Amino acid sequence: MYSCATSPSGRFVFAGDAASSVYCFDRDGTRLWKLGTGGGSALSMQYRDGRLYLVTTDSSLVCVDASEAAISAAQQGTVPQPRDVKLAAALPTYAPATTATAVATVTRVPAGAVVVECVQDGGRLRVHVVSEGYDGSWNVQFPRAIRQPGARYVVDALHPAAGGFYRVRGDIRRLQ
């Protein structure tokens, strides 16, 4: 098996094989259904809120309705039609900055923007949030190539990530 996951109660166990199939078993090992991914084999899977999320060998992100009602329906032969959703085209893309001089400079903080600062932490250069409303002890995932000790940057938004750190969303500008 390439990957596996379980529902929180252990009621359902999911497994993916090298032949691009995903299986659902009940807790005693009885196979309830087998489903082709429509693409590659499931390298990773997670179950959350009645949905089974897969990342496949062909770089697809697949979401399977794995709720009790959907599993019951699948056992009776009723399977929903797959939908192909292309999200990447709708998302903005950003060219990564490779040097501090490649970053635009601003003299004021635009409304709604967030200020972060590079700080020396032992032998490492870390980035922390200065703006209110955020946990200042959390690190910010930030391009290493543009970090400079004491420099402040303005970012469009920050989003918390699992593990207690922030991810930058939108543009990064150096604050003068």
- Which tens digit of pLDDT belongs to each residue from 21-33? 999 999 999 999 8
CA atoms of 111 and 52, how far apart (whole Å): 39
Residue 70 has pLDDT above 70, yes or no: yes
| pLDDT for res 93 | 65
Most confident of 30-39, 79-88, 126-135: 126-135
Cα dist. 6→9, 11, 41, 52, 132 in Å?
8, 8, 18, 9, 39
| pLDDT for res 104 | 86
50: left (phi over 0), alpha (psi -120 to 50) or beta: left
Query: Global pTM?
Result: 0.49
**Residue found by looking up tokens 């497994």 in the block:** 15
β-pairing, 105-106 vs 114-121, is unpaired
CATH class entry, domain 3-80 = mainly beta
Say if residue 18 is exposed, middle or buried (CB neighbours under 10 Å; 0-12, 13-18, 19+): exposed
Residue 159 has pLDDT above 80, yes or no: yes
| pLDDT for res 91 | 62
Instruction: Compute, in degrees rounded to 10, the torsion defined by CA atoms 154, 140, 96, 107.
Output: 10
**Residue found by looking up tokens 């998302």 in the block:** 91
The CATH 2.40.10.480 domain(s) of the chain lie at: 3-80
Across 164-176, average pLDDT: 91
